[in-house]
Every structure is written in structure tokens, then in C-alpha cells.
Amino acid sequence: MDNDLERIIELTDLATPDAVNARRYLHQNPELSEQESNTKEFICRKLNDLGIEYKKMKSGHGVIATIYGKDRTKAVGIRADIDALPVAENVDVPFKSKVPGVMHACGHDVHTAVLLGAAQVLKAMEKELPASVKLFFQPSEETIGGAAQMIEEGCMNNPEVKSVISLHVDPAVPTGKVLLTTGAMNAAATEFKVKVTGKSCHGAHPDAGIDPLVPACTMVTAIQSIITRKMDPADPCLITVGSFHSGNKSNVIPDETEFVGIIRALSDENLSKLIDSMRTMCHSIAEAHGADCEMTTGDGYPVLINDDSILKILHQSAAEVIGDENVMIASKPSLGADDFAFFCEKAPCFYYSLGVTSEGCEFHPLHSDKFCPDEDSIRVGILTEVNTVLHLLREI
């Protein structure tokens, strides 16, 4: 075992500089969800250089690669999301984004770089692998849920994927450490849109029309009572309104008012309850004001539940390469959502957090225009992914 660990560390140290360079290229050239064509081609060039077989997704810009082990019928999967965000970067680094208004503010450049590094290490160990490894470079996590597309295209088959792991950068965790969450890690979530329709008229004669703004404003404040009065206070959930629009002239009462947002809960059942309660409340408020109301929701993401058996394996494998003192256990889940949850519905999976904030550095959260992860975390990500996959392959 010690010899295996020494080899993993040696190969990781060789792979890390290339992974860091890959991260910097991706950071300079970010692409939004559903537009990751250059990112896809960059990944394919890197896989070609490593001699790893792959195929491009037919829908979206994902890449599915395979490193074949002794058993070519079974595999362990590793996933990295590849898309960026519509955020204008406010970080002064030599590899700052070249694309105006687009930035890897959620660390997907780090995720992709880590997976490319892990691919390099595992390819070097190919003849020793008891079974195969599949690499999922997944698009569109920030919008339409590219994980579902990837699964629909058969990424879990040929060879059959028995388990999947993935990581996400976490600025609340120090560099050199990983954070493991038991059970439900991320919330089920769905976006919503509420459109209230009234009757336009002159602002001086409101009695001649039906103002949709007043009931819409009432809805925005009233729906928060669903959280405090309809739901178990010990079971976290959220309704967030992120955008509100009504009219475009000071003396005109508009026909329509619209607001959009997202609903989150730590169970699919609670998510459904929130949607039903919100729809009932909004329609009732609209009716009381003589207006009409339409509420629509997206398909959303299911709750992300980590597998208990993989938790034990990941804890052990991470401790072997970075030290047990650097493996943290989360005390509570997050109400963030991630489409890795779709993989969790198909096989035992585990999603863990990678520390990316060095000692003494100012904290900046995910999606911030000042988010700047410590690149020393890339080596930690490669080590933990590779060693965990090797442990999981022995369990197949």
C-alpha cells in the first residue's frame, strides 16, 4: 500500500503543473453554459495527448472519456462541470478572463483541471487498474442541467458505471483540506416565474384599470410565510425572488407584472409542497385584487444525496494522501443545488468539497467577481480523486 501511495503522489506531482496550466487557459477563455465549444475542443486535445479514448456528446458540449482497465465491462466515473458564469471578473491575475462579462466564478475551471490531472495519473496506471474509469466533462451545470443530457446519451453504460464521484471548490474550506457531507448534501431546487395580469390605464385614474403591481408586491412578501408557517422549521427550505419587473412609464399602470426566482428544499417532497403552496397563495392574492395569475416552474434538480458506503471509502482514501487531520466532516447540508444529483439517482455517488482558500487570504464566496481559488488545491483534488477511484475499483 505504501508503494502504491508513493507512486500516486509521484505521478500527481508530475501531472499537477500541466493541470495548473490547463486551469489558467480555461480561466482566460471561459464559456457560458450551452456555449462551451472551445472548452470541449481543448479537453479533446488534452485527451488526445494522453492517448485516452473519448466521444463528444451529440447534445451539448460534453465529453465522455474512458480509461480501460482489466475489466472492460465495469467502471467508476469521475465528473467535472465545465461551464462559466455571466460575471465580469474583478481579480488582477495574469490569466484573467479575456471574455468581457464572463468568468469562472464557480471554480469549474479548477474542476476540469483536476479531472484532466486525474486522467493523466490514471492513464499512467492503466495496466494496473482492476476495472475501467470513465471521465465525464459535463456542460451546462449552471443552466439546463447537462448531467441529465449526459445520462440520456448513455454515459453510464458501456462500460457500466457502478459509482461516480465529483468535487466542488469551497472557499469556506482551507486549502489542503476536503469536506465530506453525509446524506443530503445539496437541495432540490426549481426556478419559477409568476406573471400577474391586470388592465392597463392612466396612472391618474387607477379605478379604470386593474393594477398588477400591487398584488405582485403582496405575493413577494406573503410567500415567505409559507416557509415560516407551512413548513417544518427544523427542515430548511427557501423561496428566493431574484428579479421583479413591472411597467416602463411613471404615469402608466401596466398590463403585467412579473417576478422570477428559485425554490429550494432538502427533499423532493418538500419542494413539491412549496410549489403547490406558492401557486395557491399567488392565485388567491391575484383573485382578491381582480387580477389573473400564472405560475410556471422549471424541471429543476433533485436533492443530492451522498452514499454512505462511499463516504467511508472516500474518508479513508483522502486521509491516506492528505492526512486524516485534513479530512473534515460537515455539520449541516447546503441549500445550494447541483445537477450532479442526477448521477446520484442512477448509481451510488459522492460529492465532496475541495478547500481553496489559503491562510491569510480574504474570503470571497462562489459566484463573486473576486473569487480566486488557491491553485495549490488542484494537487489535493487530483490526489483525492485518484486514490478514491482506485479504492472504488477494488470494490467492483
- Catalytic residues, which ones? 301, 375
For 161, the 3-state DSSP assignment is: strand
381: exposed, middle or buried (Cβ count in 10 Å: 0-12, 13-18, 19+): buried
CA-to-CA separations, 289 to 101, 110, 156, 207, 215, in angstroms, rounded: 41, 50, 51, 12, 6
Angle between helices 377-395 and 2-28 (to 10 degrees): 130
For the chain, the C-alpha Rg in angstroms (whole number) is 23
Length of the chain: 396
Q: How many CB atoms lie within 10 A of CB 368?
A: 17
Q: Could you tell me if 164 and 107 are in contact, meaning their C-beta atoms sit under 8 angstroms apart?
A: no
**Residue 351 to residue 335: CA distance in whole angstroms:** 14
φ/ψ of 90, rounded to 5, equals: -125, 45
CA atoms in the 13 A half-sphere facing the CB of 51:
7
CA atoms in the 13 A half-sphere facing the CB of 228:
5
β-sheet bridge partners, residue 133: 67, 76
